[in-house]
Every structure is written in C-alpha cells, then in structure tokens.
Amino acid sequence: MILSNKEIKRAIQENRIGIDPSPKEPFKTTSVDLRLEKRIKIPKDNLEIVVDPRGKIANTLKELYKDETIQDSGYLLEPGKFILGQTFERINLPLHPDNENNVIAARVEGKSSLARCGLLVHFTAPTIHAGFQGNITLEMINLGKYPILLRFQMPICQLIFETVLNTPDPHTGQFHGQSRPNGIVS
C-alpha cells in the first residue's frame, strides 16, 4: 500500500524511513521530492569496450565514465545523452525497525514537469528495496529535442513509499538442493 504524506511523516518520526537531509514540507500527497547531487558521471567517448555483465563488470563500468561536477551555471544535458547522477539526499529503509512487521520499500519516479521536457531520471530500475541505505543513483537521459539545464539541488525525482507485508526473508526454497545464485538449474 502506498503511504500518504501523513504516513510518510509518521514513518520518518519512527525511523522506519530515513531521509538525510530532511526533505522540505509539505510533502506531496503520496511522495517526497528528492534533489540532484552535484556529482555526475559522463560516459567517455570512443572507447572500444564491450559491456559483458559477467565477472568484474564493476571494474569495466569505472572505465566507462568520467567525473563531472555540476557548476553554478548548471550542466547542459544534450538530447540523446545519457549520464549517471545521484540524489542529494541519503535514504535509509531499515530492515530492523522496532516493528518488524512495518518494513518499507520505495520506488523512484520521475517528475511529470521534467518528463514533459524529455528527461528520464531512471529506466527499468525504480525499486528501492527494503534494507537500502545510501544515495539513489539516477540513470538520466534526455529524450527531448532540446538541451536541458540540470542544476545542483534541483528537484529531480520523487520517492513513493510502500509498506512491505511481514519481514523479508530469503526464498530458501529456490535454493533447495543447489547453490547457484540464479535458483534451480536443471
């Protein structure tokens, strides 16, 4: 069930949701806006790299990007360009609150105003799982026809919170009789 702004405030007070620094009130009816951090990652041009999602891909990804900082004048995201960003706020969705039956997960969503300009702030990866802790990484792309000026601490996305029924446990049944990470292998 999606949390209302009243329930979001209550969950923050009860430390079932952590947002640092605290978001400005009033919240929207069912979400909290998050802002853009100034550190961004820009893909390097003309690399002869094939991304193979096996093995040490984390090392490969580090080679793909270069650091950039959003200056006071902003960062111009050209049409068709893809960058990685992060939320300014750190999020904490603890798995061990006092009330274990009241765990919270979340989904990061774009803002409709920015979507009208062609800006995607995530694609295929909206889920913030219960137990998450950290800044949310944003996969940003300008699908519009014109450049979009990104500014430090601009409202960039919204977080929608949902209750998780019961305390998450591993699905040990899928591992029965084998030890591969992707479940039962026939």
Could you give the residue numbers annotated as active site? 139
Chosen residue from 1, 25, 58, 124 binding another protein by CB under 8 A: 58
CA distance 31 to 29: 6
Chosen residue from 54, 72, 112, 166 binding another protein by CB under 8 A: 54
Q: Which stretch binds another protein (CB under 8 A): 2-10, 60-68, 73-81, 154-162?
A: 60-68
CA distances from 174 to 76, 130, 165, 171, 183 (A): 47, 20, 20, 6, 5
Nearer to another protein, 84 or 115 (CB): 84
Chosen residue from 74, 79, 80, 183 binding another protein by CB under 8 A: 183
CB of 139 to another protein, least distance (A): 12
Q: Contacts with another protein in 103-132 (CB under 8 A)?
A: 129, 131-132
Q: x/- contact string, 131-170, with another protein (CB under 8 A)?
A: xxxxx-x------------------------------xxx
